[in-house]
Each structure stands twice: as structure tokens, then as C-alpha cells.
Copies of this chain bind each other. A is one copy, B any other.
Amino acid sequence: MQPGYLGGDKHLTTAPFYIPVQEKILEVETKMREVATDHHPDLGAAINHLLASGGKRVRPAVALLTGSMLGADPEKTVSLAASIELLHTATLVHDDLIDGAFLRRGIPTLNARWTPGATVLTGDFIFACAAKLAAQTESVELMYKFADTLATIVNGEITQMFSRDAVYSYEEYLNRIYAKTGSLFVLATTAPSILSPMRDSTYESAEQFGYGIGMAFQIIDDVLDFTGQPSSVGKPVANDLRQGLVTLPVIYYLEDNPDDPNLVRMLNQESLSENRLGQLVSAIQTSGAIERSIEQASEFSNQALDALGTLPFTPEHEALEDLSRYIVNRHR
């Protein structure tokens, strides 16, 4: 088993949906590591560090499975999968710098060791490498979509940065997680359709499928921020709330408990003692907000399965069904 793509997440080592693309994922790994060849050795070292620190390679798996299901060119699909994971990696490099995060998945971030300047440039370099890999697909439509997805992700971050304290509505939450996560999952499912001979008859379903699993994935991530073991998520419990980020469990909790004094304080940007924060986190954990969030994720996952149902029934199709369910069930 390659430690590279199975990361430290023990749930995933046994996840069956990786099986049909196990070998292809190794090709994706190789491709991602090769991009820094012929460049400054420290860039290669940085990329190796970032890739070795794990990550579940869910996005490449989605792209590879979807590509196989739709009969896309296998080599181009590998390039695409590598380009999507590098795009994701580059955004994380800049995000961790901006957030001043020193650990990700328990491993030091790049900015924990390098200067801000070197970190900015390394992120830029990885963007460039991702774009080069996207170009290997030889599809203009795909490359446009690739660039547009980056614009969507960054626009979402800017919007969040400039209006962090105003987002309590469900709709704004959906916009935010679409930009943050949904858009890249949509790329991971629509780009293989673009590479497929069945593009026109599959694009819309592929888009709905990617949207559904992407949204479900981020909602469950936001649930895990409250319910996960700190050791398995690599962050303190309720890390988002500590950063002032209002996620779905908080939005649902707020609907039922608009007068919770701790929450009111937090939303007013008043500082909360660790004690009061603990009270608030407990209240959210034991409220119905968690279950309701999981139900919402299930709904997105079911929408994804409905869309998937219209796509060719192959072994990869079955794996994508597993993956859609896994995304929701990994909170258990």
C-alpha cells in the first residue's frame, strides 16, 4: 500500500471504491512528482513534502472513476486527475499561509518552515504545473473550465475574507462551500465527460453528480469539525468556530437557539473564554443540528446518486456509488 495517497485516514485504506483505480492513482502520484523536474531542487522537495503528507486523493479517484466510466482517454484522464490534485494542493499552500496554519494532517505546512515569500512562490509554481498537466489533456474546453474553477475557488475565499462575519444564511453557506469544494468536484466529474466520446449526453449528469458529492463532502467535513477526534482530523475540535467561521451545524443550531448567549457573543465578534466556547461546542454537539446537517449531506449524496443513475453502468459506476455513500458515512 502506498502511504502517499492513503494518508493517515484509516477509514480509507479499506474503502473499496479505490480498487478499480488503484494502479492509475499510482500513475497520478508519479505525474505529480515529476512536474518539478528541471526546476529548482527545493521546489521538488517542497512538492514531495506536500504530497507525502497525504491527503485522501478523493478528487483524483473521482476523476479517474468518472473517466473510466465514460470511456475517456486513460492517459489524458491521469493527467487531468493529477492536475486537479495539484490545483487543490496549490490552494491549500496559499490557504495555510494566509491562515497561519502550521500543521495540516499532522504534518508541518510549508509556511511552518519557509518564509512567506517562498511559500507564495511555491503555490504559484504548483498552479503553473497544474495548468501544464491540464494542457496535456489537449482540450481547450477543459482548460477553460480548469481556469474558471480556480477563479471560482479564489473568489470564494476573497468573499469569505471580506465578509466573514455576515454569513449565517443557509444560502450563503451553500455558495461558500460550492466555491471551496463543490466547484473542484464538479471539475473532477465534468472534465472527464469533456474527454469522453459521450460528452454531450453525459455532461449535465456528470455536473449534477459532482455537485452532489462535493457539497455532501464539505458538509460532512464541517460536521467532523464538531464530532471528529482531534487526532483523526489533525485540528482542535470546532476549529472553524474558533476561527469565526460559521458552518452548517452552527447555522442550524442558531435557528433553534437564536438567544444562546455564547453564540450571540461569538457572532458579535466578542471574544469567548475557552470555558464558554466549550459550552457552546457541547451545546451544538448535543443538539439536533449535527443530525440535521448529516441529513442535508445525505440529501446531496442522494441527488448525486440520482444523477449517477443516468450514466453508464460499469464497475466504476458501482465504485462511485460506494464513494457517494462513503462520503456521508465517514462521520460515524
Given that A140-B143, A151-B129 are contacting pairs, would A121 and B42 also be in contact in the complex, using a CB cutoff of 8 Å? no
Interface residues of A in 204-247 (CB under 8 A from B): none
CB distance B161 to A147 under 8 Å? no
Name the B residues within 8 Å of A39 (CB-CB): 151, 155, 158
A138 and chain B: residue at smallest CB distance:
B140
CB distance A42 to B98 under 8 Å? no
Q: Let me know if A8 is at the binding interface, CB within 8 A.
A: no
A40, B151: Cα distance in complex, Å? 11
CB distance B116 to A128 under 8 Å? no
Interface residues of A in 146-176 (CB under 8 A from B): 146-148, 150-151, 154-155, 157-159, 161-162
Q: Let me know if A327 is at the binding interface, CB within 8 A.
A: no
CB distance A124 to B154 under 8 Å? yes
CB distance B125 to A127 under 8 Å? no
Q: Let me know if A118 is at the binding interface, CB within 8 A.
A: yes
Q: Let me know if A292 is at the binding interface, CB within 8 A.
A: no
Interface residues of A in 100-119 (CB under 8 A from B): 116-118
Q: Let me know if A88 is at the binding interface, CB within 8 A.
A: no
CB distance A42 to B128 under 8 Å? no
CB distance B122 to A158 under 8 Å? yes
Q: Let me know if A135 is at the binding interface, CB within 8 A.
A: yes
**Could you tell me the distance in whole angstroms from the C-beta of A202 to the nearest C-beta in chain B?**
22
CB distance B131 to A147 under 8 Å? yes
Q: Is the contact region of chain A dominated by helix, strand, or loop, or is it mixed?
A: helix
Contact of A147 among B43, B135, B151 (CB under 8 A): B135
CB distance B138 to A116 under 8 Å? no
**Could you tell me the distance in whole angstroms from the C-beta of A204 to the nearest C-beta in chain B?**
21
Name the B residues within 8 Å of A154 (CB-CB): 121, 124-125, 128
A35 and chain B: residue at smallest CB distance:
B151
CB distance A40 to B158 under 8 Å? yes
**B-contact 0/1 string along A288-311, CB 8 Å cutoff:** 000000000000000000000000
**Could you tell me the distance in whole angstroms from the C-beta of A143 to the nearest C-beta in chain B?**
5
CB distance B120 to A132 under 8 Å? no
**Could you tell me the distance in whole angstroms from the C-beta of A7 to the nearest C-beta in chain B?**
25
Q: Let me know if A30 is at the binding interface, CB within 8 A.
A: no
Q: Let me know if A97 is at the binding interface, CB within 8 A.
A: yes
A131 and chain B: residue at smallest CB distance:
B147
CB distance A150 to B121 under 8 Å? no
Most buried by B among A123, A129, A151, A159: A151
CB distance B155 to A125 under 8 Å? yes
Q: Let me know if A57 is at the binding interface, CB within 8 A.
A: no
